[in-house]
Amino acid sequence: MSSFDFDLFVIGAGSGGVRAARTAAGLGKKVAVAEGRFLGGTCVNIGCVPKKLFSYGSHFHEEFEQAAGFGWSVKGSEFDWPTLRDNKTKEIERLNGIYHNLLLNSGVELIEGYASLQGAHEVSVEGKTFSAEHILIATGAQPFMPDFAGNEYAVSSDDVFYLDQFPQRTLVLGGGYIAVEFAGIFQGLGAESHLVYRGELPLRGFDEEVRQFACDEIRKKGVQFHLGVNIQQIVKTDSGLQVSLTDGSELEVDLVLCATGRVPNTEGLGLDVAGITTGKGGEILVDDGFKTNIPSIYALGDVINRMQLTPVALAEAMVLVNNLFQPELPPKTMDYSNIATAVFCHPNIATVGLTEEQARQQYDDVAIFSSSFRPLKHTLSGSDERHLMKLIVDGVTDKVLGAHMVGQDAGEVMQGIGIAIKAGATKAMFDSTVGIHPTGAEEFVTMRTVTRN
């Protein structure tokens, strides 16, 4: 019989922590989860899920405008922020309840409160100490707030889901996917929307053609870009927030959202007490099995800052539980290659595999197939929105190295493409696949002419 209170003690009830806890409990292990904030983590409460609901809501204004081309007369539409905000909150509360039941029904002991390490096998929660053979840290990440004069008047992405009033003039600081998404959400819901980014073009790390194409489309929808500049200071006035930029220009807005990245959430965890090693960005350093430098303590998800994506944390949790508690099975490692992802800006971006720039660095012969077109819907809607499809192909083996899309429902389309690329599909296999007509997605199997190589 074990001398520990638990076989596994999980700190953090986000996606990765809950998956690890439930799976381990299902294998007959005695498991506890400590959580001091909310069940489901960032994604469920202040991330992916509510942001996607807001994104859905922000499309209706555009749909109403485009309906006339299809014979519909939509008059008197009006947006009510409290309705969207509160309906979103009800859905999040429902999901919290589901997570609560999933944990309890799987036999996991849920301990409410913030946990801190007391050693290699001990955790303290609200003054009570528990022992565990294995400890898992899955505390996620939190927004980074930049330092400038008046930054106390800005909000983070944690706060924006619960605003008392909807702002009529907004400024989003940042160039990553969260910033670009919220700039589009604000614009779609009817606000004047500005995006301020210190770089030359938002969405650094994405395919360059995709970045440029997406930003052109976002501009067409009304988001105003201020590139190569930063916020110098914010001054609160009777009529709003006066924002001074580093190029000397000024903007008056009602809300400033700082979406300048997320940092590992390790404050108060007692990493120094346990002797856990961290990296330059505060991330917990782990090996391929998610083990820290302390053999009994593990970490995964956003707190290790490898890929800050919910499905990645879920997959990492499955690898960990397999290796810890299923010795009869072959050991597993996490494969971070060809992970599909999406940006829910307007229009959406989805991508899997290598960018054109990455492929050119890694392969001698690269063939690019790309197609830009006006979707069938917009031949009647009156919108000048365009979509982009792109395939990156190894010219020697014909293997598809990457796929990229900018357009409506790009994430839904790319999930299937991701399976094909993960399976090692060649361009010939794409070409031999009969398309679904008429769809935008069929463009992926009808592109025959090399754009460049």
Per-domain residue ranges for the chain?
Answer: 6-142+263-325, 151-260, 341-445
User: Is residue 194 among the annotated active site residues?
Assistant: no
CA atoms within a 13 Å half-sphere pointing along the CA-CB vector of 211: 16
Q: Of 121, 226, 378, 437, which one is the catalytic site residue?
A: 437
Task: Tell me whether residue 413 is exposed, middle or buried, using C-beta atoms within 10 angstroms of its C-beta: 0 to 12, 13 to 18, 19 or more.
Answer: buried
pLDDT value for 434: 97
Is residue 4 within 8 A of residue 134, CB to CB? The reply is no
pLDDT value for 453: 87
pLDDT value for 6: 98
Task: Tell me whether residue 315 is exposed, middle or buried, using C-beta atoms within 10 angstroms of its C-beta: 0 to 12, 13 to 18, 19 or more.
Answer: buried
Is residue 208 within 8 A of residue 215, CB to CB? The reply is no
pLDDT value for 2: 74
Structure tokens at 54: 């807001």
Do domains 6-142+263-325 and 151-260 share one topology? The answer is yes
Specify the fold of 341-445: Enolase-like; domain 1 (3.30.390)
Domain covering 6-142+263-325 in this structure, CATH number: 3.50.50.60
Is residue 229 within 8 A of residue 249, CB to CB? The reply is yes
Q: What is the spatial distance between Cα 246 and Cα 227, in angstroms, rounded to a whole number?
A: 11
Tens digits of residue pLDDT in 109-125: 999 999 999 999 999 99
pLDDT value for 1: 55
- For residue 202, the SS3 value is coil
Structure tokens at 423: 């399976």
Look at the alpha carbons of 275, 279, 283, 289 in this order and tell me if their dihedral is positive or negative. Answer: negative
Q: What is the spatial distance between Cα 51 and Cα 55, in angstroms, rounded to a whole number?
A: 6
pLDDT value for 75: 87
Does residue 347 have a cis peptide bond before it, meaning omega lies within 30 degrees of 0?
yes
Q: What is the residue type of 303?
A: V
* CATH architecture for segment(s) 151-260: 3-Layer(bba) Sandwich (3.50)
Task: Count CB-CB contacts under 10 A for residue 374.
Answer: 13
Task: Count CB-CB contacts under 10 A for residue 453.
Answer: 11
Q: What is the residue type of 242?
A: Q
- Helix (H) or strand (E) run with residue 392 in it: strand 387-394
Structure tokens at 173: 């600081």
List the chain residues with pLDDT less than 50. none
